[in-house]
């Protein structure tokens, strides 16, 4: 009995060792935003919003026609009213509107998605609109319905500038803040409220709508290094979003001279039928009024309720309208800019096209836009200089892989080396450990390669040391690979041993040890810039798995350049111009 059970601990130990050897070369830490970036996001907030408007213009946000439906009784009524609206700062920057009886003044106007629907509904109003993004203000002025008789737009940052210098004190009846305050640092939110309180009448109201804690986007942020502080996050494009709890919101307004008149938690389920996803969106909708100094406990009488839009137990009118809405046509007034935040996928608008011109071919590679790379964990969504160099080498020296089977480790979304190799190799398998990088890689392969080359390139997921992944690749090519290539895959110390271990299992066993024809033996080629792993550490790890360095570049091992394998790749004139970074190194390994 004892002997039959003896192997169990060994198997468990082996499984633990194998699990420990599995690795992805992109970081999985979740430490939040560093102090450096936290300060930079605050300092450059205006710049990030200007970039946003430069990119999206006025095409991103739909017009807000729901204002009249939700709060029409505040806008209408006897007498002239002056309204200041702080609007869509979360994705429309600091936006305030002021409607004055016959005058409607807006601050934080964004692209004017609220200004012009209000003018259409209340043609007698005049709107004074301001935003701290000059580009957003210019978009308002360029709107087809803009006229100076109805709208005056100017630049103003409510966390710094004194609003009362632009608008007379105590002259505003209503302030609307629609997805505005969430874009402001929590420590500066009191400054904004104090600023707008200066221009509100003693009987004035604030109409508020913004993100709520528990919203789908916040849940997605929780798994990324994008947390700035409690409930405060940075998006991939550098703009920021705060998620409000009812208690925080009530305390914030009360401490700055406002009482709660209404407070709703709104929930809406949005279905993406094509991807079979159900997404829960949550926001807070509230009405605040200036504290009258007589009834400081009036917030206890506030109407606090939960609206479940599109579900039962809601106001009948809202429920009926929600059921009538088409899922595909529903208005995304929550202003989350990226499809990746709403649906967990990469939007084409998050990407940019890089054109790579090589000998005999031109590739258009879709990668993650530079403006989003600073918060991206995966290094595989970018195009590295080492990949550019090796793709150029393969294009100019097709004999390196001609008639051979090639495996690329950690190719990322670009896969340019694999695509070039597919023109002359018998088989190319491009691998990466990041599913998102592979998804983008497949798009790039499909858009750049034609028959018969596309049939020779296979993409597979490979976490180094993962037994299942390695077996799946062995099933594709049981004879092993004659060339294994890795570009910038050697910079994380913890990844080096799994890297060589995986390469050893997948490299071909044929022609090993033939010193007379080293350039024809199965080889592991690494191209990189030395960062966190130096050359001695790399060579030590390689030797543990039987890899022997036989050549390197730019400083060759042999004193005779004619004997150098790698130097022959750069033998033609003008080779220096092809090197994107002088710090790049190439190492050529054989297996004993």
Residue (of 530, 518, 522, 475) closest to 503 by Cα position: 522
If pLDDT is split at 50, 70 and 90, which confidence band does 133 have? Answer: confident
pLDDT at 191: 93
Residue (of 260, 265, 267, 271) closest to 245 by Cα position: 265
Residue (of 226, 186, 191) closest to 210 by Cα position: 186
Residue (of 327, 347, 328, 352) closest to 336 by Cα position: 347
Mean pLDDT of the region 248-254: 94
Rounded CA-CA distance 338/216 in Å is: 12
If pLDDT is split at 50, 70 and 90, which confidence band does 293 have? Answer: low
For residues 444 and 411, is the Cβ–Cβ distance under 8 A?
no
Q: Which residues touch 440 (CB under 8 Å, ≥6 apart)?
A: 346, 351, 366, 367, 381, 413
Share of the chain above pLDDT 90, in %: 32
pLDDT at 46: 60
Q: Which residues touch 479 (CB under 8 Å, ≥6 apart)?
A: 405, 508, 510
**Which comes out higher in pLDDT, residue 568 or 73?**
568
pLDDT at 38: 76
**Which comes out higher in pLDDT, residue 98 or 401?**
401
For residues 381 and 440, is the Cβ–Cβ distance under 8 A?
yes
Q: Which residues touch 30 (CB under 8 Å, ≥6 apart)?
A: 223, 224, 225
Residues 356-375: pLDDT tens digits?
Answer: 988 878 899 888 776 555 55
For residue 505, pLDDT beyond 80:
yes
Q: Residue 202 corresponds to which tokens in the numbers above?
A: 């003693």
* DSSP states of 291-325: --SS-TTGGGGSEEEEEEETSSSS-HHHHHHHHHS
**Which comes out higher in pLDDT, residue 576 or 296?**
576
Mean pLDDT of the region 206-224: 81
For residue 524, pLDDT beyond 90:
yes
Name all domains of the chain by residue range, CATH numbers in brackets.
Answer: 39-343 (3.40.50.150), 348-591 (3.40.50.150)
Residues 168-191: pLDDT tens digits?
Answer: 888 888 887 888 899 899 999 999
For residue 8, pLDDT beyond 50:
no
What is the number of H-type helices and E-type strands within the chain? 20, 22
Q: In what order do the strands lie in the sheet with 405-409?
A: 457-461, 427-432, 405-409, 483-487, 523-528, 585-591, 547-553
**Crossing angle for the helix pair 246-255 and 189-199, to the nearest 10 degrees:** 50
For residue 354, pLDDT beyond 50:
yes
Mean pLDDT of the region 105-122: 53
Where is average pLDDT lowest: 59-63, 153-157, 264-268, 545-549? 59-63
Residue (of 449, 450, 473) closest to 460 by Cα position: 473
> Residue 305 forms beta bridges with which residues?
264
Rounded CA-CA distance 126/352 in Å is: 41
Q: Which 3 state secondary structure label does DSSP give 143?
A: coil
Where is average pLDDT lowest: 337-341, 473-477, 539-543, 571-575? 337-341
Where is average pLDDT lowest: 16-20, 493-497, 500-504? 16-20
For residue 465, pLDDT beyond 90:
yes
For residue 461, pLDDT beyond 80:
yes
For residue 342, pLDDT beyond 50:
no
If pLDDT is split at 50, 70 and 90, which confidence band does 11 have? Answer: low
Residue (of 440, 434, 439, 375) closest to 409 by Cα position: 434
For residues 183 and 240, is the Cβ–Cβ distance under 8 A?
yes
If pLDDT is split at 50, 70 and 90, which confidence band does 548 have? Answer: very high
Q: Hey, which of 77-81, 281-285, 524-528 has the most confident mean pLDDT?
A: 524-528
> Residue 171 forms beta bridges with which residues?
none
Mean pLDDT of the region 103-121: 51
Residue (of 515, 566, 580) closest to 397 by Cα position: 566
Mean pLDDT of the region 385-401: 94
Q: Which residues touch 12 (CB under 8 Å, ≥6 apart)?
A: none
DSSP letter, residue 23: B
Mean pLDDT of the region 377-381: 68
Q: In what order do the strands lie in the sheet with 240-242?
A: 227-229, 232-234, 240-242
> Residue 268 forms beta bridges with which residues?
281, 309
For residues 182 and 211, is the Cβ–Cβ distance under 8 A?
yes
Runs of H (alpha helix) within 397-531: 416-421, 435-448, 467-476, 493-506
Q: Cα 30–32–36 angle (5° rounding)?
A: 135
If pLDDT is split at 50, 70 and 90, which confidence band does 587 have? Answer: very high
* DSSP states of 447-459: HH--TTGGGGEEE
For residue 70, pLDDT beyond 80:
no
**Which comes out higher in pLDDT, residue 269 or 153?**
153
Q: Cα 189–190–196 angle (5° rounding)?
A: 95
For residue 306, pLDDT beyond 90:
no
Residue (of 529, 223, 242, 487) closest to 376 by Cα position: 223
pLDDT at 104: 36
Rounded CA-CA distance 351/365 in Å is: 10
pLDDT at 315: 35
- Residue 195 to residues 20, 45, 200, 350, Cα–Cα distance (Å): 55, 19, 9, 35
For residue 531, pLDDT beyond 90:
no
Mean pLDDT of the region 285-298: 70
pLDDT at 584: 92
> Residue 98 forms beta bridges with which residues?
84, 105
For residues 586 and 553, is the Cβ–Cβ distance under 8 A?
yes
Q: Hey, which of 35-39, 262-266, 495-499 has the most confident mean pLDDT?
A: 495-499
CB atoms under 10 Å from CB of 131, counted, come to 37
Where do we find the tokens 């200041």?
Answer: 84
* DSSP states of 44-97: THHHHHHHHHHHHTTSSSPP-THHHHHHHHHH-SSS---EEEEE-HHHH-SEEE
If pLDDT is split at 50, 70 and 90, which confidence band does 51 have? Answer: low
DSSP letter, residue 381: G
Q: Cα 301–305–310 angle (5° rounding)?
A: 155
pLDDT at 243: 94
If pLDDT is split at 50, 70 and 90, which confidence band does 50 have? Answer: low
Average predicted confidence (pLDDT) for the chain: 74
């Amino acid at each position: 009995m004892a002997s039959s059970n003896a192997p169990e601990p060994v198997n468990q130990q082996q499984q633990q060792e194998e699990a420990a050897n599995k690795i992805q070369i992109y970081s999985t830490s979740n430490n939040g935003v560093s102090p450096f970036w936290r300060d930079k996001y605050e300092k450059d907030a205006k710049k990030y919003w200007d970039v946003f408007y430069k990119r999206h213009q006025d095409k991103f946000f739909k017009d807000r026609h729901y204002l009249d439906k939700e709060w029409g009784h505040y806008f209408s009524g006897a007498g002239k009213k002056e309204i200041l609206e702080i609007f869509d700062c979360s994705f429309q920057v600091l936006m305030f509107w002021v409607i004055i009886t016959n005058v409607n003044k807006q601050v934080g106007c964004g692209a004017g998605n609220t200004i012009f629907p209000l003018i259409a509904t209340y043609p007698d109003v005049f709107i004074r609109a301001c935003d701290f993004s000059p580009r957003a203000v210019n978009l308002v002025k360029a709107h087809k319905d803009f006229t100076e008789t109805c709208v005056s737009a100017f630049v103003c940052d409510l966390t710094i500038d004194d609003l009362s210098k632009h608008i007379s004190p105590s002259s505003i009846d209503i302030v609307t803040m629609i997805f505005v305050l969430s874009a402001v640092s929590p420590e500066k939110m009191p400054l904004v409220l104090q600023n707008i309180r200066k221009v509100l009448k003693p009987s004035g109201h604030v109409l508020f709508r913004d993100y709520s804690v528990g919203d789908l986007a916040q849940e997605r942020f929780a798994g990324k290094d994008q947390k700035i502080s409690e409930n405060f996050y940075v998006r991939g494009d550098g703009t920021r979003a705060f998620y409000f709890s009812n208690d925080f919101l009530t305390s914030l307004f009360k401490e700055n001279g406002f009482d709660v008149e209404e407070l709703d938690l709104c929930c809406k389920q949005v279905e993406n039928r094509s991807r079979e996803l159900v997404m829960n969106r949550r926001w807070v909708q509230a009405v605040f009024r200036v504290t009258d100094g007589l009834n400081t406990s009036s917030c206890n009488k506030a109407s606090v309720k939960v609206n479940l839009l599109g579900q039962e137990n809601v106001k009948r009118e809202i429920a009926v309208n929600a059921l009538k809405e088409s899922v595909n046509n529903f208005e995304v007034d929550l202003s989350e800019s990226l499809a990746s935040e709403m649906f967990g996928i990469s939007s084409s608008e998050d990407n940019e096209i890089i054109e790579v011109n090589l000998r005999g071919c031109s590739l258009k590679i879709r990668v993650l836009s530079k403006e989003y790379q600073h918060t991206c964990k995966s290094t595989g969504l970018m195009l590295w200089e080492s990949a550019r160099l090796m793709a150029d080498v393969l294009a100019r020296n097709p004999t390196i892989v001609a008639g051979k089977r090639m495996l690329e480790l950690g190719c990322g979304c670009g896969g340019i080396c694999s695509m070039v190799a597919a023109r002359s190799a018998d088989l190319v398998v491009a691998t990466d450990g990041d599913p998102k990088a592979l998804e983008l890689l497949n798009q790039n392969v499909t858009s750049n390669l034609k028959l018969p080359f596309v049939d020779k390139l296979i993409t597979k997921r490979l976490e180094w040391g993962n037994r299942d992944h390695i077996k799946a690749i062995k099933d594709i090519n049981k004879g092993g690979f004659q060339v294994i290539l890795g570009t910038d895959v050697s910079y994380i110390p913890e990844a080096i041993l799994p890297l060589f271990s995986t390469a050893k299992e997948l490299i071909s066993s044929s022609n090993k040890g033939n010193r007379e024809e080293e350039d024809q033996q199965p080889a592991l080629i690494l191209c990189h810039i030395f960062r966190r792993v130096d050359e001695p550490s790399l060579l030590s790890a390689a030797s543990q798995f039987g890899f022997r360095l036989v050549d390197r570049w730019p400083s060759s091992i042999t004193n005779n350049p004619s004997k150098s394998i790698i130097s022959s790749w750069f033998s033609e004139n003008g080779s220096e111009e092809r090197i994107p970074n002088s710090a790049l190194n190439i190492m050529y390994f054989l297996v004993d």
